[in-house]
Amino acid sequence: MVSKPGKTACVLVAVFALGCMAWAQSSEAASASKSVSQEKSKTLKITIKGKIGPILSGSDPLGLDGEKGSVEVVASESLSPTSQSGSSVTYTLPAGAISIKSGTEKFKTESPSTMTIDLTDTADILTLIAAGPDGLTVTSTTYLETGSWTTGVLTHPETFAPSPQDLTAASSAGGPGCQVEYVIEGITTVLGFSGTASNKDPVDPVLPAPQVNR
Domain boundaries, the chain: 41-200
Q: What is the pLDDT of residues 155-192, one digit of tens each?
A: 999 999 999 999 999 999 999 999 999 999 999 999 99
Of the candidates 116, 144, 130, which has an alpha carbon nearest to the alpha carbon of residue 72? 130
Average pLDDT, the chain: 85
Q: What is the DSSP string of 123-141?
A: -EEEEEEEE-GGG-EEEEE
pLDDT digits (tens, 9 = 90+) for 197-209: 999 998 876 656 5
- Model confidence at 34, pLDDT cuts 50, 70, 90, reads very low
Strands (E), the chain: 43-57, 68-76, 83-85, 88-93, 98-102, 105-108, 113-119, 124-131, 137-144, 165-167, 179-184, 187-200
Query: What is the reported pLDDT for 126?
Result: 98
Assigned CATH class of 41-200: mainly beta
Rounded to an integer, the average pLDDT of 18-44 is 49
pLDDT band at 81 (very low <50, low <70, confident <90, very high): very high
Q: Give me the percent of the chain exceeding a pLDDT of 70.
A: 77
pTM: 0.78
The CA distance from 69 to 124, in Å, is 21
Mean pLDDT of 17-30: 40
Q: Which region, left, alpha or beta, applies to residue 77 given φ > 0 means left and ψ of -120 to 50 means alpha?
A: alpha
Q: Which of left, alpha, beta for 63 (phi over 0: left; psi -120 to 50: alpha)? A: left
